Amino acid sequence: MKTFCARANPTTGALDWVEEGEEYDYHQEIARSCYADMLHDRDRNLKYHQGIRAAVGRVKARGERVVVLDIGTGTGLLSMMAASAGADYCYAVEVFKPMADAAVRIVEKNGLSDKIKIINKHSTEVTVGPDGDMQTRANILVTELFDTELIGEGALPSYEHAHAHLVQAGCEAVPHRATVYAQLVQSERLWSWAQLLPVDVEGRELRPPPAVGRCAGAPSVCDIQLGQVSPDTFTPLGPLCTMFSVDFSRPVSSASQAHSCRFEVCSSGQAQVVLSWWDIEMDPDGTIICSMAPSWTYPDPKSYPWRDHWMQSVYFLPVEQSVTKGEELSLTVSHDDYSLWYSLQSKSSTEGPPCQPCCTCQAHLVWTRPRFGELNDSQRTKSYTRALLSAVRADSVCLGVSDGSLLPIFAQLLGAKKVFSLESSGMFKQVIEQVLEANALKGVVQVLGLRPDQLTAKDLGDEQVSVLLGEPYFSTSLLPWHSLFFWYCRTSLSPLLRPDATILPQGATLWVAGVEFLDLWRIRAPCGSCEGFDVRPMDDMIQHSLDFRESREAEPHPLWEYPCRALTQPLPVMTFDFRQCVPDQPINSQGSSPLVRRGCCHGVVLWMEYQLTDDITVSMGLTRPINEQGNCEWSPHRKQGVYFFSSPWDSAGDGQAAVTYNLTFDPSSGDIRMDFSASLCQ
């Protein structure tokens, strides 16, 4: 059976459907899983272990036989904890067959096959009875069904079914209870991810469309490593509110519900954003707690247990509201069986909680949250404006090539004679036309719903383009070099360009640096053992899937969320001259960069810098020079590429070892083949 998978194609700017072998989905699912991250989460594992031991002890103290149901067992870790704590029998349910097979091997390797049965089904398909999957209902329910939003993986329906069909009334549950917390804040930085703000273009204000300002936004949660958002960037407007709890030892309902918390405003300001997280209590007394609170809530942030499988949530209010210190408000969280959303009501409000937010302006459907932040970045706007001022003249004919870009509108405001903007997506075209209409520019900037290879001189009124401009940004780009689609656009548009046309940006440079990650390395590191159990079969399975393809490719990560130290100096390894057409022959680059700082080199990060003009550069990676200690500050708007070594390299920092690289840009595919390693210098 063949599998069709979407892959970014830098030569077309589209997602191509590529036929892959029957094993592709299998290996992708395993390689991109969070199993290793979860097993490296010592805080999570320890708390589960303590909670399970306590639950087994309570059931035994009642003189009952201990039967455990473990839903979403993964590696079988929680069932092995229960069996080693004295459980008589464990039913471990895992729907993903490769993981269920691995769990069988892991349980066998740890000598617990006689006490644990792996059931490769969804829990709602499990049967109970003499001929069923389970001989009898369980009296301990153990689960790890949670995501960053708590309920996004279908925890509520799964618990609801389990209580109705698979466990005894009054069963023990680990975790016993989950509680969701939230805090209302004002944050211009976070709010800039949700709304298009007014943009200053050389003294002229570009206003957002009213429909965007009225829109409740995208319904999906914004999940981030909130510990990397400094408390200096937001102002709490109220206390941390306890929104609702779920007792997992009792029947659970998946029906839609709303919960409110009344509070007094502690600081006047603009209510814009709700920060939210949850904790789970492993025992009925609440003495064993695993918390998702961000690092800045800890007295000692260094004691914060890093995890990437559970993060924190940012929710944007449908509209910002002015609030006054001392005012009484009610914060309401609503949820269905899979997602949460927040609303704010005054004391006198009689309105019920709103329906789940839904984008009505289309902007929130085509611009991601980082993209909103990029469009609202005033420093970035200034850089592009300076570059445009050096290129745009009164007789300029400008053509913009990017997805949902405001640069063509900037060019018009700066005095260009004619401006065209290519938007091959109908939704992007409609959003840009809304911006034009809001600023009385409709028809002045002509938005053409065409691909670059479809454009003709007739579409341009038989004008030749004097300024070709792009950010470049394309919604299908996953890795930094996928935005080289701009180069392919420039090449296909060559017949329509004046001989002396300005290309902006005029070129790009791919940069690399060998780094030590503070925590991100955990998602690729083997576990070996976890809480005393041998989980090496899982390590072997993940490595096998990585070797299938992923270990030879970089993967995208927003590095502003994942601190790292550079152990080499930043190194430009490949340049692309957009003033020339895409070459026919591959571009090769190889060399090495000495490891000049002490640390553990986990791999290489890659990013692009765009040369707008000879003296104006915009970085999609580092936003300032690396300091003496190697600390890096990354752009929050784009993802960078990360290439993990199969084995990390311990650097003495004396330059005797180096990161070596061999890169090839393939013009036929627009992709970059790469190989990195660390070794002693020859």
Separation CA 111–CA 65 (nearest Å): 21
CB 473 within 8 A of CB 373: no
How far apart are the C-alpha atoms of 88 and 83, rounded to whole Å? 7
134 DSSP 8-state letter: B
Residue 354 tokens, joined: 């709103």
Report helix, strand or coil for 412.
helix
- Quote the tokens at residue 289: 């707690």
Tell me which residue has tokens 């069923």. 132
Please give the Cα distance from 164 to 253 (Å, whole number): 11
AA identity, residue 37: D
Known catalytic residues are: 144, 153
CA distance 297 to 386: 41
**Measuring CA to CA, which residue among 409, 407, 417, 403 is closest to residue 365?**
403
Residue 5: in which H helix or E strand, if any? strand 3-9
Q: How far apart are CA 277 and CA 213, in angstroms?
A: 27
Distances, alpha carbon 172 to alpha carbons 151, 155, 249, 553, in Å: 20, 17, 6, 45
What tokens were used for 259? 């919960």
- Placement of tokens 């955990």 in the chain: 522
Give dist(CA 561, CA 584) in Å, integer. 38
Side-chain half-sphere exposure of 264, counting CA atoms within 13 A: 3
Question: Which phi and psi angles does 45 have, rounded to 5°?
Answer: -65, -45
Reported residue count of the chain is 682
User: Closest Cα to residue 69, out of 178, 179, 177, 165?
Assistant: 165
Residue 284: cis peptide before it, omega within 30 degrees of 0: no
Q: Say how far apart CA 221 and CA 146 lie, in whole Å.
A: 14
Residue type, position 60, single letter: K
The overall longest dimension of the chain from CA atoms, in Å, is 90
CA-closest candidate to residue 609, choices 477, 510, 479, 504 = 510
Is the CB of residue 104 less than 8 Å from the CB of residue 118?
Answer: yes
Quick check: bond before 175 cis, omega within 30? yes
Pairing verdict, β 507-517 and 598-611: antiparallel
- In terms of phi and psi (left: phi > 0; alpha: psi -120 to 50; beta: otherwise), the region of 415 is left
By C-alpha distance, which of 566, 227, 202 is closest to 390? 202
Spell out the residues 6+ positions from residue 573 whose beta carbon is closer than 8 angstroms to its own: 510, 511, 512, 589, 591, 661, 663
Q: How far apart are the first and last CA of the chain?
A: 47
Of 147, 215, 479, the C-alpha closest to 372 is 215
